[in-house]
């Protein structure tokens, strides 16, 4: 099979931990070039990969089919714009862009040049999220009226890195918010309104490190919550008119990748923590364990390869990413105005 040649722009945390291993694991893709200022770091992991210092060098290579952008968030738009102009298919790490206008611009450009534009939303293939999707599809909870999705960490010391610096596109809401928003939209569609509380909680922090966002639907409230000062707590809390579901812990794939694991290793994507299904009968709670499904981030890049080579559906389309950006941007406006705002996109 002729594999699509891939250039990865950026070899920081996202590029090294997520993108490179998953690209290498995809049978239809071949990681040929990495754009990085540190060739030794790249060659320590992938000795045969070509390393160039500037994105323009990769974009000028006629053999490159797909450009994956894992650079800082404020570079997503100009790099994706340049890659599309160079006639390449493009994957952009989340967040898609830093503004809704930029997102619209890229979608229009991709349509004009006839190239696949996709956004990396690997957490659609988290083990716990796949479990939640099945519970809702099987109507195990009944009509869902309350849905909480948490992505909390305990990191009281501010790190010296671009993600925690001041500036548009930085901070926890842009970092983790797109994952939670995308999952919510996948489950429930677009909300009627958005209310957001964004804050800076840690000493010496300058970027948002706390968010509490409420998506209002008819008969349903979806709460998206993230903090850097939470040492425990649930990942999902869901209440329906039949029963409730609670899941602790995070998907294991990021930890496996950070530890040097490879996609497909033994126990890949397996979550040892069961969820709990709770039924109340005459005010007496009855609980049952729900075995967590196996997650697999490989589905994303396999889907990208199939979309480019075979014309199959884009695993995360620009239009889907546009809706996520609309919520991200509206939440910033809501927080600044301190009131709920209608979702009109």
Cα 131-134-215 angle, rounded to 5 deg: 80
Q: What is the mean pLDDT of each run of 10 residues along the chain (345 residues)?
A: 93 97 98 97 97 97 98 96 98 96 97 98 98 97 98 90 82 95 98 97 91 98 96 95 96 95 94 95 90 97 98 96 97 96 92
Domain ranges across the chain: 4-120, 123-296+327-342
Q: Which CATH superfamily is domain 4-120 in?
A: NAD(P)-binding Rossmann-like Domain (3.40.50.720)
Of 275, 11, 228, 259, nearest to 134 by C-alpha is 275
Rounded Cα distance between 80 and 308, Å, is 16
Residue 93: per-residue pLDDT:
97
Residue 13: per-residue pLDDT:
94
Give the Cβ contact number of residue 283 at 10 Å: 5
Query: Across the strands, what pairs with 237?
Result: 148, 246
Q: Domain 123-296+327-342: give its CATH architecture.
A: 2-Layer Sandwich (3.30)
pTM as predicted: 0.95
Residue 1: per-residue pLDDT:
62
In the block, residue with structure tokens 């754009």:
35
Give the Cβ contact number of residue 192 at 10 Å: 13
């Amino acid at each position: 099979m002729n594999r699509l040649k891939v250039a990865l722009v950026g070899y920081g945390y996202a590029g090294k931990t997520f993108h490179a291993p998953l690209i290498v694991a995809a049978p239809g893709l071949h990681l040929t070039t990495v754009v990085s200022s540190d060739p030794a770091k790249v060659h320590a992991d992938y000795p045969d990969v070509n390393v160039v210092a500037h994105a323009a060098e990769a974009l000028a290579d006629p053999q490159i089919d797909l450009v994956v952008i894992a650079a800082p968030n404020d570079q997503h738009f100009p790099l994706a714009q340049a890659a599309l102009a160079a006639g390449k298919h493009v994957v952009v790490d989340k967040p898609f862009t830093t503004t809704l206008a930029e997102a619209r611009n890229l979608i229009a450009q991709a349509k004009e040049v006839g190239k696949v534009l996709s956004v990396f939303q690997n957490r659609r293939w988290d083990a716990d999220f796949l479990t939640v999707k099945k519970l809702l599809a099987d109507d195990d909870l009944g009509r869902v009226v309350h849905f909480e999705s948490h992505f909390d960490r305990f990191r009281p010391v501010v790190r010296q890195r671009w993600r925690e610096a001041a500036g548009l596109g930085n901070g926890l809401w842009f970092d983790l918010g797109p994952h939670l928003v995308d999952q919510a939209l996948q489950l429930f569609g677009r909300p009627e309104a958005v209310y957001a509380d964004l804050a800076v909680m840690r000493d010496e922090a300058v970027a948002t490190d706390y968010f509490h966002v409420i998506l209002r639907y008819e008969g349903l409230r979806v709460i998206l919550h993230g903090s850097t000062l939470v040492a425990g707590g649930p990942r999902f809390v869901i209440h329906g008119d039949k029963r409730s579901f609670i899941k602790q812990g995070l998907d294991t794939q990021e930890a496996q990748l950070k530890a040097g694991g490879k996609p497909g290793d033994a126990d890949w994507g397996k979550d040892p923590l069961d969820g709990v299904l709770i039924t109340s009968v005459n005010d007496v709670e009855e609980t049952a364990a729900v075995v967590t499904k196996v997650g697999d981030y490989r589905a994303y890049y396999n889907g990208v390869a199939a979309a480019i080579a075979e014309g199959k559906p884009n695993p995360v389309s620009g239009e889907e990413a546009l809706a996520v950006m609309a919520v991200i941007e509206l939440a910033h406006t809501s927080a600044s105005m301190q009131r709920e705002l209608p979702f009109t996109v």
